[in-house]
Amino acid sequence: MLILPAALLSLLGAFAPLFSRPVWKHTQILLVGAILATGKRTVTACLRVMGLSHETRFVNYHRVLNRARWSALAASHILLRLVVTTFAPHGELVFGLDDTIERRRGEHITAKGIYRDPVRSSHAHLVKASGLRWLCCMLLAHVPWAGTIWGLPVLTALCPSERYHTAHGRTHQTLTERAWQIMQLLMRWLPTRTLVFVADSSFAVLDLLAAVSQTPRASLITRLRLDAELWEPVPERPHGQRGRPRVKGARLPSPQQRLDDAKTVWTKLVVEGWYGGSPREVEAYSESCLWYKSGHQPVMMRWVLVRDPQGKLEPQAFLSTDPDHTPSQVLTWFVRRWRMEVTFEEARVHLGVETQRQWSDVAITRTTPVLFGLFSVVTLLADALLKEEVPPVRIAAWYTKVRPTFTDAIALVRRYLWTVCHFSTSKPSSDVVQIPRALLERLTEAVCYAA
């Protein structure tokens, strides 16, 4: 029977009420095995690293994912509460929304589709990938011992293709419609906090922007087209005037026209945490106006046009559905979105996303969100372990690193699990550590079969 250490038990214990007692025992083994495993994150790989290679009832561990009754949505609610309490107890909460492709093949995976590969594609070259599309929501919060912003996944939803919904007789939900559902869910879970959502240009849709702008305590920051149709607010309607009320005022120059106008007055801003982490000086122009397109509701917003004084970056425009946001706030919050790409890469490298092999629809919709959520769980556990320790940083003569990364965090957690759970037979003050043969064989197998 697995006996969890106190630091891990206090964290994972929050999820125990979601499971029955037998299922919770198997769930703990799978979670710890997923942290310790160094290759594919299959159920059998988790059992091997936990020393259960000879477990004949291994099917019970598969049933945790494909048959057991527990709510992944309720688990996301608990994870959100833990992450917010630990890393963002006060102030506004900044959430990032982005989609990613899990490359999967196989006729049994019915929800897969053909999508644009964001990694291999460019502006001039389109590459398609077959797989599952996930919409991930992350809390973009400051991690004190890391000294920077991290993207901590709290909720991940599957976004099947339109062909999948048609084949199953369901109404297709677009990416922005699913994003609006996630936003409403977070606003319901956090009724007393102000929420700021940041997303890329895929979410710069007028219907979504209008819905967010009409919601109190919530705002959305995203990119703005340089050729967007901008208008002045509706002027005051004269008393007694007949006819249909106006929805917009006079036409304003587009961001591209402001960029080309030599009379545009630019303001210098220093944006903290620019891509790469260092501050960067930019020139900005900002206005508060309406974005309107025929057939859609007009959206009152604050938009910011940015250009690089050094000429190394292309001019960009951003918008916020809250006109009271300052240009500095809009840029500072938006550049946090880059941390989501880091989290996606770290989750693939260190947590085995895309290596799981479930074919059941239920298991598929659970496994990938759990692996992304495991990123936040490892960060929370590392934070608990670092209360009384110096943050470890793996360095070498050929590689200088000042701040710890997720690589150091998961290494710290793994070292703690191996030490507390398996080396307890040795005296703490002894220079010689006695390792049981069974444990030595498990460590050797983990190293030899790391790939």
pLDDT at residue 394 is higher than 70: yes
For 66-90, what is the mean pLDDT? 95
The pLDDT score that the predictor gives to residue 272 is: 84
- Whether 113 shows a pLDDT value over 60: the answer reads yes
**pLDDT tens-place string over residues 354-372:** 998 888 889 999 999 999 9
Percent of the chain with pLDDT over 90: 61
What are 375's strand-pairing partners? none
Span 167-184, average pLDDT: 92
- Cα distance between residue 291 and residue 299, in whole Å: 5
Res 445 pLDDT > 80: no
pLDDT band at 424 (very low <50, low <70, confident <90, very high): very low
Q: What is the pLDDT of residue 426?
A: 44
How far is residue 13's CA from residue 34's CA, in Å, rounded to a whole number?
A: 17
Look at 330 and 6; give whichever has higher pLDDT.
330
Write out the two tokens for 369: 């969100």
Which of 146-155, 258-267, 382-391 is least confident? 382-391
Over residues 105-122, the mean pLDDT reads 79
Instruction: Convert the pLDDT of each residue in 14-24 to its tens digit.
Output: 999 999 999 99
Which pLDDT does position 425 carry in this prediction?
42
Q: pLDDT at position 423, please?
A: 47
Q: How far are the Cα atoms of 55, 73, 207, 417 from residue 197, in angstroms, in the given order?
A: 45, 20, 16, 35
- Check: CB of residue 139 under 8 Å from CB of residue 88: yes
Calculate what percentage of the chain has a pLDDT beyond 70.
Answer: 95
pLDDT of 55 over the 50 cut: yes
Please state the rounded mean pLDDT for residues 137-147. 94
Alpha carbons 126 and 118: distance in angstroms, whole number: 9
CB 165 within 8 A of CB 196: no
Q: How does the average pLDDT of the chain come out, rounded?
A: 88
What band does 231 get if pLDDT is binned at 50, 70 and 90?
very high
Helix, strand or coil, per DSSP, at residue 100? strand
The strand pair at 195-199 and 93-103 is best described as parallel
DSSP string, 314-337: --EEEEES-TT--HHHHHHHHGGG
CB-based contact 2:26 (threshold 8 Å)? no
The Cα–Cα gap between 215 and 219 comes to 8
Give the residue-averaged pLDDT of 23-29. 93
Q: Give pLDDT, residue 410.
A: 94
CB atoms under 10 Å from CB of 244, counted, come to 5
CA 107 to chain centre: 28
pLDDT at 388 over 70: no
What is the tens place of the pLDDT at every residue in 302-350? Answer: 999 999 998 888 999 999 999 999 999 999 999 999 999 999 999 999 9
> Which pLDDT belongs to residue 234?
86
Confidence of residue 408 (pLDDT cuts 50, 70, 90): very high
Note whether 364 and 255 are within 8 A (CB): no
Q: For the segment 257-303, what is each residue's pLDDT rounded down to a tens digit?
A: 999 999 999 999 999 877 766 788 999 999 999 999 888 899 999 99
Question: What are the angstrom distances between the C-alpha of 407 and each of 350, 368, 421, 437?
Answer: 7, 20, 21, 28
Report residue 263 as tokens: 């009379």
The answer to whether 86 and 141 have CB atoms below 8 angstroms apart is no
pLDDT category, 177, cuts 50, 70, 90?
very high
The three-point CA angle 95-96-99 to 5° equals 145
